[in-house]
A = this chain, B = another copy of it.
Amino acid sequence: MCQIASPLSPFTWGWGFLNLEEECAMGSDYKEMWEELGLDLEAHDALLKVLGRFYGDIYLSQKGRLKGAEYLDFVLSEVHGLRINELQEAKAQGKKVVGTFCIFVPEELVWAAGGICVGLCAGADIGREAAERVLPRNTCALIKSFMGFKLARLCPFFESCDLVIGETTCDGKKKAYEILEEFAPVYVMEIPQMKEARDRILWKEEVLRLKDRVEDLTGNKITADSLSDAIKMLNARRRVLQRLDSLRKAIPTPISGRDALLVNQISFYDDPQRFTQKIGELCDELEERVARGQGVVPEDTPRVMLSGCPMAVPNWKVPYVVESSGAVIVGEESCIGVRNTRDLVSENGKDIEEMIESIVDRYMKIDCACFTPNNERIQHVVKMAKDLKVDGVIHYSLQFCDPYTIEAFKVERALEREGIPVLKIETDYAMEDVEILKNRVEAFIGTLGK
């Protein structure tokens, strides 16, 4: 792992990394594996170099970091190395790897069928040129990113997948999967757009259809025991993330928003049991800090909550901008945040049928902006902002993401009605707007009255 903590802003490099001559690279012992996976080695090396520098500047440079953050650093440093190696070893033993882009995919089924579920790379301005050959320029950064990672052969997770599960949560992804399936084995789940009885019926059919598909893929029948184990394993992962979120309520908050985001990001691709254990240890440490009244920032630091679109690894732009502008982030109302961890699957199901019903119920609770109406989300945002005692909310949406950019109108109004200041940001993964963002965020934080 690159240990450079440059005094320069990480953004001064932009992503023009393809010609970088840095010596510092992440996990360079895996060349053979990456070659076998068909990665573009030269571009991939350059990506790891810039990711290393980026991480050094945004993460390692933080003061008073937790001991438990060593796990985060290690996982990140081995993001395309050790974890991929584990996946390859599992595949050699006949296991199947399933990739997803959305928290709507009921991972329980994949694990219960003996598969491994991983979130796929979609948080960097990578392979944009390749992506724009098959997608309109006006497509959201997340979609261009996953297409770019695939077409530019830069994501070893993607290349390890035996199946990629998409979903119809937005127009952009729905239609992009039709193109992606020419380059990867893609299966698409239909997500309803309302939450009426008819929608639950459709969604249950989709859950059952996925069950058949993953059983087919893995060659393993899902049993009551395996499903129960998977439900418990993933609930445990959600619980530890809930515990983390709960500790962040403390004033002063014991962990930076960047680190907390990273924990959520890592939850999508590390082994769930290891993750739960390690983050449990990190939470123990945080608990001690809270007991001592020790914060990661002074007590009077403005507390900000992020709300909106997911921030996939390594999309740390806005959190960095916010936390280098004098505020601390204490919560993420996002798919890589509480939207993914708020609800558990009931563990009371006595047989497969009951467990399936519990899974159907749990996923239908997700307050994604793909639903209409989606008043639960508005209520959740307000409640969360109050619970976390935030001084302001930054609504983050990816440019061209209709569901969240349009819903931002209602979120803003609801928060303002409660007297909670809001800043709406629309951005992408490129670095051109960092200075403008910083100006806007600093001005906003300056108004928070602390």
Contact = CB atoms under 8 A, between A and B. Distances in A.
A443 interface: no
A140 to B, nearest CB: 9
B201 A372 contact: no
Nearest to A194: B190
A405 B190 contact: no
Nearest to A205: B198
A176 B175 CA distance: 20
Nearest to A193: B168
A188 B372 contact: yes
A94 B201 CA distance: 39
Interface stretch (A37-45, A307-315, A343-351, A406-414): A406-414
Given A135-B409, A201-B202, 14 more contacts: A138-B138, A139-B402, A170-B171, A171-B172, A171-B402, A175-B372, A175-B407, A178-B374, A188-B372, A190-B192, A190-B196, A198-B201, A201-B201, A400-B402
Nearest to A369: B175
B174 A372 contact: yes
A422 interface: no
7 contacts: A135-B406, A138-B399, A138-B405, A175-B407, A188-B372, A198-B201, A199-B202
A177 interface: yes
B372 A402 contact: no
A403 interface: yes
Q: Which of A134, A174, A373 has the most CB of B within 10 A?
A: A174
A191 B198 CA distance: 12
Contacts of A170: 171, 402
A300 to B, nearest CB: 35
A449 interface: no
B202 A373 contact: no
Contacts of A406: 135-136, 139, 171-172, 175-176, 178-179
